[in-house]
Amino acid sequence: MGIVDRLFVMIFDYLNENCKEELEVVQRQYPFETLKYLRNTLRLRYEEGIQMLKEAGAEIDPYKKLNTVVERKLGQLILEKYGTEFYMLHRCPLAARSFYTMPCYDDAKYSNSFDAFIRGEKIISGAQLSEESAKTCGIDVSTISTYIDSFRYGVPPHVGLVQG
């Protein structure tokens, strides 16, 4: 998660500092406000995001995946409370993640995973791979060995990104 959020902050900084003319051209055609983001990216546990939504009157299952409308609402709440439009939710519910996602060591209801958001829109997801989780789901690990090997040999062991 740390590598990913720092990369995005570097991209935002670069665009703001080195692409002012290009941004102005695009902004004339498609008016937008400059992205609000923190130097140290806001990282909220999924449970904290759920709590914010509940305090705002949302009725949601805390162990299910958030739908797009709820994600956008959370984005508004985070902007109001923390002043940022770029943030990450981590420790997402295991039941809402892919079969290969590793459970958290301290609470198996949650996973070693994250979602990154800009303006309440999920842009990427990441998760730690677990062969044991795949086996628990009844998947013959040999049928996905190439996939697992890509993580084992080519991807840092703490993250694997998929498009959100």
Share of residues in the chain with pLDDT > 70 (%): 91
Distance CA(119)–CA(140), nearest Å, equals 39
Residue 154's pLDDT is: 62
160 — pLDDT class (breaks 50, 70, 90): very low
pLDDT higher than threshold 90 for residue 98: no
pLDDT higher than threshold 50 for residue 162: no
Please, what are the domains in the chain?
43-163 (3.30.930.10)
pTM of the model: 0.82
Long-range CB contacts for residues 66-71, cutoff 8 Å, separation at least 24: 68/121, 71/117, 71/120, 71/121, 71/122
Distance CA(1)–CA(59), nearest Å, equals 28
Report the pLDDT averaged over residues 71-96.
96
pLDDT higher than threshold 80 for residue 153: no
Residue 135's pLDDT is: 83
DSSP 73-115: HHHHHHHHHHS-SEEEEES-BGGGS-TTBPBPSS-TTBBSEEE
pLDDT per position as a tens digit, 50-81: 999 999 999 999 999 999 999 999 999 999 99
